Amino acid sequence: MQPMIIILKEGTDSSQGKSQVLSNISACQAVAEAVRTTLGPRGMDKLIVDNRGKATISNDGATILKLLEVVHPAARTLVDIAKSQDAEVGDGTTSVVLLTGEILKNCRQFIDDGMHPTVIIRALRKAAAIANQKVKEIAVSVKTDDAKEQRALLEKCAATTLSSKLIARQKEFFSKMVVDAVLILDDLLPLNMIGIKKVNGGSLEESRLVAGVAFKKTFSYAGFEMQPKQYQKPKIAMLNIELELKAERDNAEIRLDNVEEYQKIVDAEWTILYSKLEKLHLAGVKVVLSKLPIGDVATQYFADRDMFCAGRVQEDDLKRTQKACGGAIITTVENLNESVLGSCQHFEEQQIGGDRYNFFTGCPKAKTATLILRGGAEQFIDEVERSLHDAIMIVRRAVKNDSVVAGGGAIEMALSRTLRDFSRTIAGKEQLIIAAYAKSFEIIPRQLCENAGFDATNILNKLRQKHAENGIWFGVDISREDVTDNFLAAVWEPAVVKINAITAASEAACLILSVDETIKVPKSVAETSNAAKQMGMGG
């Protein structure tokens, strides 16, 4: 009898073979099931409550998957792919997850029948390459030198994205705002130069776009009310210095034997503070912003000299102001000159809802924009912010890559037909796999219909007929429960979003199919006791 050899540590959990691949596929389908109903203009929202009781209402695929905290190792792949789609192109996260789930579901029967995963993976990669090639072929380039036409195109792309979001009713209003914000930026379109600020209260229509930097008025001391609230072409000093009396004696021990000595120390502190303030005043600075606190003495001093100050400004706001207005964030007030001071055309402080906001407009150095969002509940404004993030990303992509395809399931049906036709030209196992891959694309129009409460089978039959007659832009018409030419209906998406989605979904499916064993290694006794000791010492 052969002796049994134990290689793995005792308690190691190992599962392998066909059952492991099937179990991974089931886990991924469960994740896809979680976001299935959020797809499209009639998609439902999910309310997710975390362990601290914080509620989030969202229909953004990436947000939902992040909050669900998926623990299954294979299913986590789907979460990562949704995140990568969100980071790369900003939208289409739900579509990617659904597509991956459907590809795996359609490949399941082949695994059941004993086909080797490598054969399936090879065919899937081939099919994905054909699909991407087809998207590039049929995508319509809409590059125009006419700024008006270019604007209209970008607004259509933004409106298509927003039609599946919470703010679909206000999509005209917000798509204009998003396009304005992106067009304000310079050629590199840096995302961090668009700030989004949320102010509770008011209606959505009161949201506004500021062509410059805006941030909430920070904590302020007495004397603030007497400072002027607007300037034309002010000089701006951005500091990383505390303008308060207590700063000099922190972490110091002083031993004195008479009152005069103490008086000298107090006087020295006042002298140091006043010399800092005087240098700012003499340099002609009108607006002083600091990352650290600005005390009441300094606030009063600035008010007497018609200067404005704000302390405890958030770091990202200060950096955006610096990029937009020029100058530098300085740690000393010595040698103040034009090169370290910023400037803008107009500075003003205004009341928005219950908060006061500082506005810097007409910034010379960098082009920047700030969206100020209004709305009722906090969760609602948070979801508006997520929706606008997707729209901004799509408009940025459309500016850089100017080819678009029709949305609403049209491009998916076109790809499905192309791949089905291709599968008939080849023999063997590949034919079956590519046909199954082709069928997977139909999940998008089918789910759009199901979420809207339509008869999905009926509409898909109509779509197949139209695409067989070469109506490549025919997709689901949500408003009339029918099919329509979505290119003419201006339901547009940048082609790069679809290419990214197909590539990501296919790669994720291949990755999950290629895993045939999961090994969970238990913590050794020594490691566990060490961790316990460290926790004990830490406590």
- CA triple 224-230-234, angle to 5 deg: 105
Pairing mode of beta strands 235-239, 329-330: parallel
140: left (phi over 0), alpha (psi -120 to 50) or beta: beta
Secondary structure of 41-73 in HEC code, one letter for each residue: CCCCCEEEECCCCCEEEECCHHHHHHHHCCCCC
Catalytic residues: 60, 93-94, 390
Using CA atoms, how far apart are residues 42 and 455, in angstroms rounded to an integer? 14
Angle separating helix axes 410-423 and 117-138, nearest 10 degrees? 120
Using CA atoms, how far apart are residues 505 and 128, in angstroms rounded to an integer? 9
For tokens 């590539």, the residue is 503
Strand partners, 477: 482
- The alpha carbons of the chain give a radius of gyration, in whole angstroms, of 30
DSSP count for the chain of H helices, then E strands: 17, 21
Using CA atoms, how far apart are residues 191 and 202, in angstroms rounded to an integer? 27
Give residues with Cβ within 8 angstroms of 392, minimum separation 6: 90, 178, 181, 182, 191, 194
Chain centre to alpha carbon of residue 172: 21
Two tokens, residue 483 = 């099919």
Chain centre to alpha carbon of residue 448: 23
Using CA atoms, how far apart are residues 268 and 437, in angstroms rounded to an integer? 78
Strand partners, 369: 194
φ, ψ for residue 354, nearest 5 deg: -90, 0
Two tokens, residue 502 = 């197909």
Using CA atoms, how far apart are residues 22 and 168, in angstroms rounded to an integer? 39
Using CA atoms, how far apart are residues 359 and 213, in angstroms rounded to an integer? 6
Q: Report yes or no: 218 and 312 within 8 Å, Cβ to Cβ.
A: yes
Using CA atoms, how far apart are residues 288 and 210, in angstroms rounded to an integer? 21
Burial class (CB in 10 A: 0-12, 13-18, 19+), 90: buried
Strand partners, 209: 371
Burial class (CB in 10 A: 0-12, 13-18, 19+), 346: middle
Q: Report yes or no: 293 and 242 within 8 Å, Cβ to Cβ.
A: yes
Closest CA to 162 of 173, 151, 153, 152: 173
Greatest Cα pair distance in the chain: 102
